[in-house]
Amino acid sequence: MKQKTRFVCQECGSISIKWQGRCPECQNWNTFVEEAEVSHNKANKNVKRYAEKLKDITISNNIRLTTGIEEFDRVLGGGLVKGSLVLIGGVPGIGKSTLILEASNMISGKFGKVLYVSAEESPVQIKLRADRLKINSEELYLLSETDIDSIKSVIKEIDPVLVVLDSVQTIYKSSFESSAGTISQVREIAREAMEFAKENNVTVILVGHVTKDGILAGPRFLEHMVDAVLYFEGENFQAFRILKTVKNRFGATNEVGVFEMTQSGLKEIQNASEFFLSQRVKDSSGSVIVPVVEGTRSMLVELQALVSKTNFGIPSRKSSGVDSNRLSLIIAVLEKRAGVFLGNSDIFVNVAGGISVDDLSLDLAVAVSIYSGVKNISIDNDIIVLGELGLGGEVRAIPNFDMRIKEAKRMGFNKALVPEGNINKESEKTGIRLIGVNNIKSALGWFKTDD
């Protein structure tokens, strides 16, 4: 008897009985692939479940497994929650395996057995990395396997507190005819990992591949199935790495951890502000310091702008670490509301260190840095600039203001160009001179020029 097949969208997971050029759900083109239908026999379908009163549910004090790596624990919201399913993604060679191996070593030394399952590397290869990192925990187990049923049998035999599956795209279910990495395989592996984690109160970490666009490969619903999604980012030719969370059911999202890749492994950067400002060139035009908030922490970053006369008919506008659409908006506001002509100028904006910032408080700093580049004037070394720009040229108040000012004060800054709406009696007690502005003209007018 011929096995039934169906067509599944690789982006959103919607199912169709026939191939379609465009998915009716996510509207993406050429995303449907043919897969064999597999029926699941639910062994526990007749098991009766009982509802519990919310007030009767108790929470244990030892609900989290702390890794001992403070930056990692910060991103997780205090550590790995027992029975949770965590997905970590990053480009090849960025240091995912190094980070997870170091965390596994710490957890195995504090809480018990940890099983590291690698479907891509042999135990000897992992051992070589562990020796370089000086990892030798007696409770850390290695397994090189790709069949999820074999992996589950080993897990039951060892009974670990943490399981690492590296990677979810290379592990398969033997009862499925499709190859590893297909939608049905990834869905099934994630489902079985989730059920096993919840039923046995075992924490499971899934390592995922990313596409050339920097997003997790495979169906997007994989991110909805897990409890937390972390991205490990950075450039291979730079030493620092950024670990950020985009989803966390047990903590704040947009949390950031900063690491430096060294010969002996990953080193935590707990003072991120000092790290990002360490190579700043003072008295340089286009350089502005701005405090940004990522999750529950504030840190100072250097925003740089280079403005030069264009050699072609259409000026070039490039940005690194700043949203290009937001840059275009700020340039338009500068021209329309502040009278700064930029039509014949190439503009390049960069957040030093390679970090990407998604924070509207960066708007005013971008405008000031571009203005500084146009007039070729340097901004005072002891001032910070922050504020959101509206299309009318108004400078709007921003959230987490006191947190930003305190971080600037800690780093030795004495002045701050800020929105008037953020200044109150409490903020004036921070010890920093607050210069309030309500529009882009008054903000730029504060910086003296020879014009």
Domain holding 16, by residue range, is: 1-39
Q: What is the pLDDT of residue 219?
A: 60
**Same structural domain for residues 247 and 297?**
no
Q: What is the pLDDT of residue 38?
A: 56
**What are the backbone dihedrals phi and psi of residue 413, each rounded to the nearest 5 degrees, phi first?**
-85, 145
The model's pLDDT over 91-107, given as tens digits with 9 standing for 90+, comes to 888 889 899 999 999 99
Per-residue pLDDT for 77 more than 60?
yes
**Same structural domain for residues 311 and 251?**
no
* E strand map for 47-110: 64-65, 80-81, 85-89
C-alpha 433: how far from chain center: 33
**Same structural domain for residues 112 and 192?**
yes
* E strand map for 167-278: 203-208, 228-233, 240-248, 256-262, 265-268
**Same structural domain for residues 118 and 195?**
yes
Note whether residue 46 is domain-resident: no
Q: Are strands 240-248 and 203-208 parallel, antiparallel or unpaired?
A: unpaired
**Same structural domain for residues 82 and 113?**
yes
Note whether residue 194 is domain-resident: yes
**Same structural domain for residues 436 and 374?**
yes
**Same structural domain for residues 254 and 341?**
no
Q: Compute how many other C-beta atoms are within 10 angstroms of the C-beta atom of residue 337.
A: 19
In the listed set 270, 288, 316, which residue is the last one of a domain according to the structure? 270
User: For a pLDDT cut of 90, what percent of the chain falls above it?
Assistant: 56
List Cβ neighbours of 322 (8 Å cut-off, separation of 6 or more). Answer: 303, 349, 350, 351, 356, 357, 362, 366
**Based on the structure, what is the number of domains in the chain?**
3
Per-residue pLDDT for 2 more than 70?
no
Q: Are strands 140-144 and 114-118 parallel, antiparallel or unpaired?
A: parallel
Q: What is the pLDDT of residue 42?
A: 47
**Same structural domain for residues 284 and 430?**
yes
User: For a pLDDT cut of 70, what percent of the chain falls above it?
Assistant: 91
Which of the pair, 236 or 129, is modelled with greater confidence? Answer: 129
Q: What is the rounded distance in angstroms from the CA atom of residue 354 to the CA atom of residue 240?
A: 9
CA distances from 19 to 11, 32, 260 (A): 15, 6, 47
The model's pLDDT over 250-301, given as tens digits with 9 standing for 90+, comes to 988 878 898 988 888 889 998 989 988 988 988 899 999 999 998 778 999 9
Task: Give me the amino acid identity at 209.
Answer: H
C-alpha 138: how far from chain center: 32
For residue 165, what is the domain's CATH number? Answer: 3.40.50.300
**Same structural domain for residues 236 and 281?**
no
In the listed set 238, 254, 270, which residue is the last one of a domain according to the structure? 270
Two tokens, residue 382:
């002891």
Mean pLDDT lowest among 166-180, 224-238, 414-428: 224-238
**Same structural domain for residues 313 and 172?**
no
| Contact indicator for 171, 146 with CB cutoff of 8 Å | yes
Per-residue pLDDT for 449 more than 50?
yes
Instruction: With CA atoms as reference, report the closest residue to 293 among 318, 266, 272, 324.
Output: 272
Tell me the pLDDT band of 1, cut-offs 50, 70 and 90.
very low
Q: Average pLDDT for residues 358-362, to the nearest whole number? A: 91
Beta bridge partners of 205: 86, 164
Q: What is the pLDDT of residue 309?
A: 92
**Same structural domain for residues 340 and 414?**
yes
**Same structural domain for residues 171 and 110?**
yes
Two tokens, residue 215:
């997003």
Note whether residue 401 is domain-resident: yes
Q: What is the pLDDT of residue 433?
A: 93
Q: Average pLDDT for residues 48-68, to the nearest whole number? A: 80
Note whether residue 451 is domain-resident: no
In the listed set 270, 289, 314, which residue is the last one of a domain according to the structure? 270
b/e string for 34-46 if b means 16 or more Cβ within 10 A?
Answer: ebeeeeeeeeeee
Per-residue pLDDT for 18 more than 50?
yes
Two tokens, residue 123:
């135990």
Q: What is the pLDDT of residue 43?
A: 46
